[in-house]
């Protein structure tokens, strides 16, 4: 019940080894320079970390979702920016194509994404459609065998480097939520422009851009799923995406605990290590307990998703709890480090900034609570 398979442990160990040896030494520089870690993404591709749950015939690693969250936690523990780059490609680019695409589309788009030859991004959010994702304004107008996409997409992670984008647009404004369609778009298509590169509080090593679409021509065969059923694609994708963000949050939470344990044993005040003081011990105890609870919620969601089940409740519970856990743990890490926690020479300063995003993207904590409450209320007789 609560044991990993040998394969899952092997994947975790491999990811840990890579994360500690290759990713961790770069984390500080990526953050300070807001630099995209191209070399790490290449190595992650070689290690098959960019399309972990994609079938081998489509270039992926053919692994299960628990292995994926274990690996993602390890990478995120070393560097949350690298973690989100991996998460977006796996959860938001590969997963919807794996789930909804035709065989032809998979051959054309999934293979390069899963092998890491190409990088994916996910264009759902708009300047005026955040939590209310269905309020899409981007239009897709039919023209012959193609659609012309026009609109603005906001907060697109990986957007600066991405080769392929999953883009949501309104194909039939008269049908409201049922008039939204998902497209697979080549970012080199004329009219697809990076309008602005955002400067962020944290996860500065990953890009976040505003994209403007001006009459971007997308062939009709690039529709992902069924025309008008884009919201269905979006919601099922977010169920996986939220598990990914939960894993990323677990990584940040684990990093917060690890540096705090180390520091508490070394740092002396009042003639003894601060780890001997209950005020510090209790913070450490709560960090570890919350982290363990968050991990179990994440593994549960991943294990159920692996069985092919819908997991709105489990994904949202994992995402909500894990992201709030990592914020609390990062807060505690800064507090335990005292003044040193506030300066850039020590890891907690970065963790504190990185943690916050987990409560916001792929559905704010408020959206998760909406999903959870509506599910619980619906289940009650």
Partner 1 sequence: MNFSLTEEEKSIQDWARKLSQEIVAPLAVRHSQQKLSTDYLKTISSQGLMTLLVPEAMGGMGLSAVSFALVMKEISKVCGSTGVSLAVSNMIADILVREGSPYQQEKFLQPLIRGETLTASFCLTENSSGSDASALKSRAVKKGKGYELSGEKIYVTNGAFSQFFVVMARTSDEPGSKGVSAFLISRDSKGVTMGKEEDKMGLTGSSTIRMSFENVFVPEENRIGAEGDGFKIAMRALDGGRISVSSQALGIAEASLEFGVRYAKEREAFGKPIADFQAIQWKIADSATLLAAAELLVLQAAYLKDHQKPLTLAASQAKVFATEAAIRVCDEMIQVLGGYGYIREYPVERFYRDVRVTALYEGTSEIQRKVIARELLK
> Going along 65-191, which residue ranges are E strands?
120-123, 139-143, 146-157, 164-170, 180-186
Q: Give, in degrees to the nearest 5, the angle at Cα 257 between 11 and 8.
A: 15
> Which DSSP category does 171 fall into?
S
Cβ closest to partner 1, residue 147 vs residue 321: 321
The verdict on whether 314 is a catalytic residue reads no
User: Can residue 285 be called a binding residue for partner 1 (CB under 8 A)?
Assistant: yes
Q: Which of 124, 77, 97 is nearest to 253 (CA)?
A: 77
Site string for partner 1, 231-270 (x = CB under 8 A): ------------------------------x--xx-----
Spatial contact of 156 and 119, defined as CB atoms under 8 Å apart: no
Burial of 379 (0-12, 13-18, 19+ CB in 10 A): exposed
300 beta partners:
none
Q: Kind of pairing, strands 223-224 and 180-186?
A: antiparallel
Provide the minimum distance between the beta carbon of 74 and partner 1 in the complex, in angstroms, as a whole number: 16
- Which residue in the set 3, 6, 104, 345 belongs to the binding site for partner 1 (CB under 8 A)? 3
In the region spanning residues 58 to 97, those forming contacts with partner 1, defined by CB under 8 A, are: 66
The CB density around residue 283, as the number of other CB atoms within 10 Å, is 21
Choices 196-204, 217-225, 290-298, 340-348 (CB under 8 A): range interacting with partner 1 = 290-298
- Which residue in the set 297, 332, 333, 357 belongs to the binding site for partner 1 (CB under 8 A)? 297
Cβ closest to partner 1, residue 174 vs residue 307: 307
User: Can residue 292 be called a binding residue for partner 1 (CB under 8 A)?
Assistant: yes
User: Can residue 134 be called a binding residue for partner 1 (CB under 8 A)?
Assistant: no
Dist. CA 162–CA 58, nearest whole Å = 19
- Which residue in the set 131, 221, 282, 310 belongs to the binding site for partner 1 (CB under 8 A)? 282
> Which DSSP category does 43 fall into?
H
Spatial contact of 94 and 121, defined as CB atoms under 8 Å apart: no
- Which residue in the set 286, 308, 327, 364 belongs to the binding site for partner 1 (CB under 8 A)? 286
Cβ closest to partner 1, residue 252 vs residue 283: 283
| Residues making contact with partner 1 (CB under 8 A) | 1-5, 8, 66, 261, 264-265, 275, 278, 281-282, 284-286, 288-290, 292-294, 296-297, 299-300, 302-304, 313-314, 317, 320-321, 368-370, 372-374, 376-377, 380-381
């Amino acid at each position: 019940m609560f044991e990993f398979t040998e394969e899952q442990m092997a994947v975790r160990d491999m990811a840990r080894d890579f994360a500690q040896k290759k990713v961790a030494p770069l984390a500080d520089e990526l953050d300070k320079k807001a630099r995209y870690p191209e070399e790490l993404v290449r190595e992650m591709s070689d290690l098959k970390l960019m399309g972990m749950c994609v079938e081998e015939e489509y270039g992926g690693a053919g692994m299960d979702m628990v292995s994926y969250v274990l690996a993602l936690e390890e990478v995120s523990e070393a560097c949350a920016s690298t973690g989100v780059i991996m998460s977006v490609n796996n959860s938001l680019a590969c997963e919807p194509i794996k789930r909804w695409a035709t065989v032809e589309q998979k051959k054309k788009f999934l293979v390069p994404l899963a092998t890491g030859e190409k990088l994916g991004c996910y264009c759902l959010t708009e300047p005026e459609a955040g939590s209310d994702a269905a309020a899409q304004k981007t239009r897709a107008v039919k023209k012959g065998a193609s659609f012309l996409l026009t609109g603005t997409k906001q907060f697109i992670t990986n957007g600066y480097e991405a080769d392929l984008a999953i883009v949501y647009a309104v194909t039939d404004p008269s049908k409201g939520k049922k008039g939204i369609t998902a497209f697979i778009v080549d970012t080199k298509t004329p009219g697809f422009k990076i309008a602005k590169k955002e400067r962020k509080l944290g996860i500065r090593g990953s890009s976040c851009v505003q994209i403007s679409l001006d009459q971007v021509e997308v062939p009709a065969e690039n529709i992902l799923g069924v025309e008008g059923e884009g919201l269905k694609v979006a919601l099922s994708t977010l169920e996986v995406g939220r598990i990914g963000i939960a894993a990323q949050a677990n990584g940040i939470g684990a990093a917060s605990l690890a540096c705090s344990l180390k520091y508490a044993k070394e740092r002396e005040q009042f003639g003894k290590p601060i780890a001997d003081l209950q005020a510090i011990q209790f913070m450490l105890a709560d960090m570890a307990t919350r982290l363990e609870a968050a991990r179990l919620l994440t593994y549960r969601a991943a294990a159920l998703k692996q069985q092919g089940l819908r997991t709105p409740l489990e994904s949202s519970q994992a995402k909500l709890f894990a992201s709030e856990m990592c914020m609390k743990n990062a807060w505690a890490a800064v507090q335990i480090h005292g003044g040193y926690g506030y300066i850039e020479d020590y890891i907690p300063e970065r963790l504190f900034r990185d943690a916050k995003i987990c409560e916001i993207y792929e559905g704010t904590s408020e959206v998760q609570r909406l999903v959870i409450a509506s599910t619980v209320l619906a289940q009650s007789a």
